[in-house]
């Protein structure tokens, strides 16, 4: 989708930076034994993905940058590419932690490496090999993200601010993931589950998907503290809408569009707001259905259909949809007061609409 005029389509520019950086890294490691790993990482980085985090970064930068600086936007593009690399790290590790089977319409990276191990007839456990190798690939993406950001063509003071925000973002994402892992281990959808799910959403998704990309782009353009606060007021509710939509798609979505299974979240009893609402709102027979199927690692489509019916009939799905709409409205109200250039306000509004209503 076209959000606003730019010298070339933003996603294509992000991909060009990523391809150039990764290909440069591959030249440093010509070993034949490393080629499969490097090729797999390159393919994962450049195949699929909506490039939303770079878009938030870019349009915040453009909204804050002085008119005479807007033609020199490579700093925002490079920072956006670094954010995309960090996102790749998060996706790879998230799939390992959640035992996710598919990503972007293809087998998850750990599944891909496990299959390669089996084809080669190598020694040891194929699934363990797949997890270990994917873990290393995720680590590589995280390290590359930092290296790419360090090379961002920005004034030293502004770049230092961006690096500090980047570091905070990484810690927040890890903290959110930890809280999700703990909640998943407890298997607790009782009292307080909705509040705990909301905290996970804030740290794991809202900050790293929306708020910090916005603020990183803005500081690279010299934003004031007031503008950064305004971006947070816009980004926090929008990040919530982003994750809640993801939770809905994880159960009710079309795998052909999302590229992900609609069984994984249920099999893993992922502590989402949607499931917390379902347990809180369901009557005793319906709660028994949820208890029987949520967390069942062998859950099939028939059981998942029964869970979906409970989530819909209990009002849980409607409650989450209402919260998505309310969070989007809250974000758009904050956007009205944000001190950014007009074209960026329009682009950020379009991003807000997409995030809240997406089907992929």
DSSP per-residue codes, 293-338: HTT-TT--HHHHHHHHHHHHHTTHHHHHHHHHHHHHHHHHHHHHT-
CB 67 within 8 A of CB 223: no
pLDDT per position as a tens digit, 218-276: 999 999 999 999 999 999 999 999 999 999 999 999 988 888 889 989 998 988 999 99
- pLDDT at residue 187, rounded to an integer: 78
| Concatenated DSSP letters of 173-230 | HHHHHHHHHHHHHHT--STTHHHHHHHHIIIIIIIIIIIHHHHHHHHHTT--HHHHHH
Q: How far apart are CA 24 and CA 147, in angstroms?
A: 12
Q: Element (H or E) spanning 358, and its range?
A: none
- pLDDT at residue 192, rounded to an integer: 82
Cα-to-chain-centroid distance, residue 277:
22
- pLDDT at residue 132, rounded to an integer: 96
- pLDDT at residue 193, rounded to an integer: 83
Could you identify the residue written with the tokens 């290909």? 23
- pLDDT at residue 146, rounded to an integer: 96
- pLDDT at residue 5, rounded to an integer: 36
Q: Mark the ranges of the chain whose per-residue pLDDT is less than 70.
A: 1-8
- pLDDT at residue 280, rounded to an integer: 93
- pLDDT at residue 204, rounded to an integer: 83
- pLDDT at residue 153, rounded to an integer: 94
CB 217 within 8 A of CB 56: yes
| Alpha-carbon torsion (64, 357, 100, 277), positive or negative | positive
CB 335 within 8 A of CB 227: no
Q: How far apart are CA 216 and CA 353, in angstroms?
A: 22
CB 169 within 8 A of CB 199: no
Q: How far apart are CA 184 and CA 88, in angstroms?
A: 23
User: Can you read off the two tokens belonging to residue 347?
Assistant: 């682009």
Helix axes 212-220, 74-98, angle to 10 degrees: 160
Cα-to-chain-centroid distance, residue 330:
21
pLDDT per position as a tens digit, 131-158: 999 999 999 999 999 999 999 999 999 9
Q: Per-residue b/e over 72-107, b at no fewer than 16 CB within 10 Å?
A: ebebbbbbbbbbbbbbbbbbbbbbbebebebbeeeb
- pLDDT at residue 68, rounded to an integer: 85
Cα-to-chain-centroid distance, residue 216:
16
């Amino acid at each position: 989708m076209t959000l606003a005029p730019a010298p070339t389509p933003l996603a294509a520019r992000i991909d060009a930076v990523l391809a150039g950086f990764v290909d440069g890294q591959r030249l440093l490691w010509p070993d034949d034994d490393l080629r499969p790993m490097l090729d797999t990482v390159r393919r994962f980085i450049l195949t699929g993905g909506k490039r939303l985090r770079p878009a938030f970064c870019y349009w915040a930068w453009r909204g804050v940058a002085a008119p005479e600086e807007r033609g020199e936007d490579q700093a925002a593009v490079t920072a956006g590419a670094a954010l995309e690399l960090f996102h790749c790290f998060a996706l790879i590790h998230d799939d390992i932690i959640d035992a996710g089977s598919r990503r972007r319409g293809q087998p998850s990276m750990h599944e891909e490496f496990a299959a390669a191990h089996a084809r080669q007839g190598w020694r040891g456990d194929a699934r363990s090999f797949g997890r270990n190798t994917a873990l290393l690939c995720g680590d590589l993406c995280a390290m590359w993200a930092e290296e790419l950001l360090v090379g961002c063509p920005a004034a030293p003071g502004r770049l230092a601010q961006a690096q500090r925000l980047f570091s905070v973002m990484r810690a927040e994402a890890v903290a959110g993931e930890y809280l999700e892992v703990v909640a998943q281990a407890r298997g607790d959808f009782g009292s307080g589950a909705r509040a705990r799910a909301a905290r996970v959403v804030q740290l794991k998704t809202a900050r790293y998907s929306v708020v910090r990309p916005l603020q990183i782009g803005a500081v690279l353009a010299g934003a004031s503290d007031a503008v950064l606060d305004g971006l947070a007021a816009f980004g926090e509710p929008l990040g919530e809408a982003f994750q809640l939509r993801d939770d809905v798609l994880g159960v009710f979505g079309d795998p052909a569009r999302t590229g992900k299974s609609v069984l994984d979240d249920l099999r893993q009893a992922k502590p989402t707001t949607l499931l917390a609402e379902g347990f809180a709102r369901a009557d005793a027979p319906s709660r028994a259905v949820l208890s029987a199927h949520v967390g069942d690692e062998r859950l099939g489509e028939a059981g998942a259909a029964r869970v979906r019916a409970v989530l819909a009939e209990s009002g849980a799905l409607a409650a989450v949809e209402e919260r998505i709409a309310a969070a989007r409205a809250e974000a758009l109200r904050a956007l009205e007061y944000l001190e950014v250039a007009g074209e960026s306000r329009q682009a950020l509004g379009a991003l807000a609409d997409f995030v809240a209503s997406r089907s992929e």
